[in-house]
Structure 1
Amino acid sequence: MNPAQLSTTIVDALASLVEQGDLVLADGVPAEVTVERPRDKSHGDYATNVALKLAKQAGTNPRALADQLAARLRAADGIAAVDVAGPGFINVTVAAGAQGRVAADVVAAGSAYGASDLFAGEKVNLEFVSANPTGPLHIGGVRWAAVGDALGRILTMTGAEVTREYYFNDHGAQIDRFSRSLLARALGEPAPEDGYGGDYIGEIAAAVVAQRPEALTLPREEANEVFRAVGVEMMFAEIKKSLHDFGVDFDVYFHEDELHKSGAVDKAVQRLTELGNTYEKDGALWLATERFGDDKDRVIIKSDGQGAYLSGDLAYYLDKRSRGFDRCFIMLGADHHGYVTRLMAMCEAFGDEPHVNLEVLIGQMVNLLRDGEPLRMSKRAGTVITIDDLVEAIGVDAARYALARYSSDSAIDLDLELWARRSNDNPVFTVQYAHARVSSLLRNAADLGVVAQSHPELLTHEKEGVLLRSLADFPRVVASAADLRAPHRVARYLEELAGTYHRFYDSCRVLPMGDEETGDLHRARLLLVDATRVVLANGLGLLGVSAPERM
């Protein structure tokens, strides 16, 4: 019995009490109740505070409601004991047979184990990375690549229809600075004062000249346009390749320049004007964002008729909503924290619900360390550590796991020496080694002709129970990671599961020794091992990390 099944059992018990007239709930029977694993093992397998939550609408005190519900639960299938504690907490001990069935359920579900319908029917636009194509992808963007892709996988597993989108910033001053830097390098001139440096500028400039040698004979403005068009495309192709090699691909690459060429900005301005949320002042057109919680109103069309920076955001958001997305997630770096309020005001100005139709996730800084000292310089980019630098140092799996392992709203220090080690102090090695160890045991079982079978009533050892409860918890962890936009919860769960499995294996012999005859307990434990393999593989898959069978 897993937490979801116990929740259903409790809901059924509440419904039965209501139907028989023994309980009145003013707001009706809840669709589900919260079930958690208690910290103290002596409190049973699971606990719920449902009596404390429902007592007021039931017109009784929590303890009395808990006693009433506990009596009904004790008669339910699969429950061994129910105790009421404190002001009305209900502690439940699951019968061994009911708990043991978790292993068979996991193996039967396979790659689908952990899935739910939490976001079923919702179309989600997940925009992440979106780095300017003016240089290689730096470590801040790499964090969003790992976290964003993992979040997309988790949302998909909880029923959402996810579209991964990269906002291609090919419009504005930064692109102009990039193209001028390329042209200057090709001409052997010093970089512009506000331009870009690094070896990659010379590499891209040389590639542009090789493809378009006539560019150097053109008037400067025309040459600059060639370097802009060809150079940006080359730089972006390099970024896309680095991301692909990192296991991250996008469904949509949206070009900012198209917003300004297609009339999307005018369409957004017209919509906001029709809603009565714009006004003219000092020859410019303003969006009345202050009425929606911003600290001041914002210019959207400047007095010279050009769109202000916010105009592109307005057009892009409306375009996403017009494409049918229910939820639009944007992942931004810590330096954009002050921008969140105006984006939410923009969302509300369109008549949408902030933090529902539009949600902004902020990612904090990543600091790379080697021998305790911070790394600040890239061999190629010259100023920042890039995605390729990180992958070269510790590999794709370790990089993805390390970046997704921490809450994105906290800064992290990554010790490259630690993450490159093949030892138990390296979290990704610990989890992958557990999967490899499980896979090895399953191969040995196949060689011995031992076949896994379900005998749930035999899995009564304490360490078996702990492992079964951990496996049963996986769907809740995935749902929580989706609901809180927190892939790191999956990583931390996997580390706990790996430790739980090792403790089980050390205490419970799975395969027969020597001339020992294979018994049903061996077969039942082998099924439990296979269930562990499924969950480890599924969890690593949600993080975009491989599950090796040999290490």
Structure 2
Amino acid sequence: MTPAELADTVLSAARSAFAAHGLDTAALPATTTVERPRNPEHGDYASNLALQLAKKVGANPRELAGWIAAELRDADGVDSAEIAGPGFLNIRLSAAAAGALARTIVAAGEAYGRGDALAGQKVNLEFVSANPTGPVHIGAVRWAAVGDALARLLRATGAEVTTEYYFNDAGSQITRFARSLYASATGAPVPEDGYAGEYIAEIAADVVTRNPGVLDAPAEEALETFRVDGVALMFAEIKTSLAEFGVHFDVYFNEKDLHDRGELTAALERLRKQDTVFERDGATWLRTSEYGDDKDRVLVKADGDWTYFAADCAYYLDKRERGFDKVVIMLGADHHGYIGRMRAMSACFGDDPDANLEILIGQLVNLVKDGQPVRMSKRAGTVVLLADLLAALGADASRFALAWYSVDSPIDLDLDAWAKRSQDNPVFYVQYAHARIASLGRNAADLGVERGADFDAGLLAEPREHDLLKALAEFPAVVAGAAELREPHRVARYLHALAGTYHRFYDSCRILPQGDEKPTELTRARLWLVEATRIVLANGLHLLGVSAPDRM
């Protein structure tokens, strides 16, 4: 029995109790939930339904809980239902009902843990969005890991998700990038506001190879070549490095397209129709201060040039016109100031920022090795790169480590700790649990022991078996909560706890026969439980973009 099934059973018992005692069944909710009590001695699950409803129907909470408990005790799969405190219900499942969860999980396979809480919602999720002026740095890497995991979680809860990478190839930083490439190719000093690092020399040399004679062309013509080809080469490298990290985007959106397609003008006209635009000092402004921003924002400067904020407006409108109900944007630690202006901009378009726009801010990541901060990348010149992290940990450990922490907390990522092949390393601990189960399956096959088509769920009555079943039952709620709260770290922490529960079960409950022993019905029941655990570990790791190895 899953927690959702037990919750339905509690609600059904409440309906019967209400009918038997003449209470208004209209007061009953359409759904309810059950929770794991903090103290396992209080039962498998607890319900506060009686407390929620007592005042509405004019009943004493404990008396109402007693009526519901009496109905529950006759329900299939319920071993006991007791009243606690002011009106809580503590419920214990029968061994057969608890053990049947293994059957449910194995039957569901990859679908176990998925739900439909966000069904029908169309979400645009933008993350990373580093400008193509340098390789992917460690700050963007955190969003790559968390953003990709969040996309997987949202899809697992029923949302239709499009992941998007927005790159700015229309601004002044691209001009500085082109000048830096040109200077490197000609042997000139790096421009004062330019970019440095070995990657600049590498790309500059590549541009020259692809365009023989570019250095003999007039400076402006050569600069344009370095801009166009340099950006293309840099962005190709960004895509390749993200792919090596296991991150792929559905859409790569070019800011230049907003300008070329006239979308900035269209967005301005839409805002004018909303009567949220005004003119002052020769510039065109948006009335964001009337919608919670700390000041109004310029859209068109007095010299006629568009501002970056105007492009932000056009890009937001583009997403909404593509049919997305919610626009989710993941930004770096230095972007807190964007929240107020972006929410105000959404409101200026006539949207509800609470419903249509969500901005997530991630905190900084510092790499530590041998107890000291990792030095800046030689290739980048100024920052630590994704390539440096992959070289130190590989994609699996990197992704799990970055998803392990809440994104609203800065982290010092200890490379030595996350590279260890020991139980102290969370990703190793979880992956080892999966590999251990896979090894057990191979051993069972060698012994000719099969799980069979079904099993006696009531045999899974040992305390460690019960603990493992309760942990497996939590997975759907963990997934739903992680998606709703935008917190993939909840999945990582759950998997670590589940691995520990499995290891304790394995150490206490012998699974395969030894010597001349023959397999028993308990052997088969435990093989079902083990396979259910493997499925949940694999499903959870997949949500984080981490592999579930069969061997380690």
> Shorter-chain TM-score category?
over 0.9
Map Cα deviations across residues 469-506 of structure 1 (whole Å, 9 max, x no partner).
11111111111111111111110000001000010011
Aligned equivalent of 1:22: 22
- CA offset at residue 18 of structure 1? 4.6
SS of residue matched to 1:395: helix
| Cα distance in 2 between the residues matched to 1:31 and 1:222 | 68
| Cα distance in 2 between the residues matched to 1:263 and 1:395 | 43
| Cα distance in 2 between the residues matched to 1:55 and 1:293 | 41
Map Cα deviations across residues 103-123 of structure 1 (whole Å, 9 max, x no partner).
011011011110100111111
Map Cα deviations across residues 106-165 of structure 1 (whole Å, 9 max, x no partner).
011011110100111111111000001100100010001100001111111111111110
SS of residue matched to 2:113: coil
CA contact (8 A) 2:363 2:408 kept: yes
Letter in 2 for 1:441: L
SS of residue matched to 2:90: strand
Aligned equivalent of 1:461: 462
Letter in 1 for 2:467: V
Aligned equivalent of 2:249: 250
Map Cα deviations across residues 417-463 of structure 1 (whole Å, 9 max, x no partner).
11111111111000000000000001111111212242111000000
Of 97-106 and 283-292, the range deviating more from structure 2: 283-292
- CA offset at residue 386 of structure 1? 0.5
Letter in 1 for 2:496: E
CA contact (8 A) 1:126 1:163 kept: yes
Of 164-173 and 211-220, the range deviating more from structure 2: 211-220
- CA offset at residue 51 of structure 1? 2.5
| Cα distance in 2 between the residues matched to 1:461 and 1:63 | 32
Map Cα deviations across residues 184-216 of structure 1 (whole Å, 9 max, x no partner).
100100000000000000000000000012221
Aligned equivalent of 2:344: 345
Map Cα deviations across residues 233-272 of structure 1 (whole Å, 9 max, x no partner).
0000000000001100001000011111111111111111
| Cα distance in 2 between the residues matched to 1:355 and 1:455 | 49
| Cα distance in 2 between the residues matched to 1:256 and 1:190 | 30
Aligned equivalent of 1:8: 8
SS of residue matched to 2:528: helix
CA contact (8 A) 2:128 2:330 kept: yes
| Cα distance in 1 between the residues matched to 2:153 and 2:548 | 17
CA contact (8 A) 1:435 1:537 kept: yes
Sort the Cα spacing of 1:35 and 1:385 in 2 relative to 1 into closer, same or farther, 3 A.
same
Sort the Cα spacing of 1:277 and 1:57 in 2 relative to 1 into closer, same or farther, 3 A.
farther
1:152-551 alignment, distance < 5 Å: 152-452=151-451, 453-551=454-552
Of 376-385 and 226-235, the range deviating more from structure 2: 376-385
Matched, 1:71 2:70: yes
CA contact (8 A) 1:454 1:523 kept: yes
Identical-pair percentage = 62
CA contact (8 A) 1:25 1:54 kept: no
| Cα distance in 1 between the residues matched to 2:56 and 2:345 | 39
Letter in 2 for 1:121: G
- CA offset at residue 25 of structure 1? 5.9
SS of residue matched to 2:421: coil
Sort the Cα spacing of 1:281 and 1:382 in 2 relative to 1 into closer, same or farther, 3 A.
same
Aligned equivalent of 2:113: 114
Letter in 1 for 2:538: A
SS of residue matched to 1:460: coil
State the TM-score, normalized to the length of structure 2.
0.97
Aligned equivalent of 1:148: 147
| Cα distance in 2 between the residues matched to 1:42 and 1:22 | 34
Of 528-537 and 11-20, the range deviating more from structure 2: 11-20
Letter in 2 for 1:225: E
| Cα distance in 2 between the residues matched to 1:95 and 1:244 | 48
- CA offset at residue 346 of structure 1? 1.1
Letter in 1 for 2:333: A
Map Cα deviations across residues 50-73 of structure 1 (whole Å, 9 max, x no partner).
223333333334333322322222
| Cα distance in 2 between the residues matched to 1:282 and 1:411 | 42
Over the aligned positions, Cα root-mean-square deviation in angstroms equals: 1.3
What stretches of structure 2 of length at least 5 have no aligned partner? none
- CA offset at residue 21 of structure 1? 6.3
| Cα distance in 2 between the residues matched to 1:99 and 1:512 | 24
CA contact (8 A) 1:390 1:399 kept: yes
Map Cα deviations across residues 295-344 of structure 1 (whole Å, 9 max, x no partner).
11111122222222211111111110111111111000010011101111
Aligned equivalent of 1:60: 59
Of 199-208 and 453-462, the range deviating more from structure 2: 453-462
CA contact (8 A) 1:376 1:383 kept: no
Map Cα deviations across residues 495-528 of structure 1 (whole Å, 9 max, x no partner).
0010000100111111111111211001000110
Of 291-300 and 193-202, the range deviating more from structure 2: 291-300
- CA offset at residue 287 of structure 1? 1.1
SS of residue matched to 1:359: strand
| Cα distance in 2 between the residues matched to 1:412 and 1:51 | 43
| Cα distance in 1 between the residues matched to 2:99 and 2:68 | 25
Letter in 2 for 1:248: V
| Cα distance in 1 between the residues matched to 2:231 and 2:96 | 62
CA contact (8 A) 1:25 1:58 kept: no
| Cα distance in 2 between the residues matched to 1:405 and 1:283 | 50
Letter in 2 for 1:547: A
SS of residue matched to 1:213: coil
| Cα distance in 2 between the residues matched to 1:337 and 1:480 | 25
CA contact (8 A) 1:25 1:57 kept: no
Map Cα deviations across residues 16-60 of structure 1 (whole Å, 9 max, x no partner).
44555633266x432322321111011100112222333333333
Letter in 1 for 2:525: A
Count of residue pairs the alignment pairs up: 550
| Cα distance in 1 between the residues matched to 2:205 and 2:544 | 38
What stretches of structure 1 of length at least 5 have no aligned partner? none
State the TM-score, normalized to the length of structure 1.
0.98
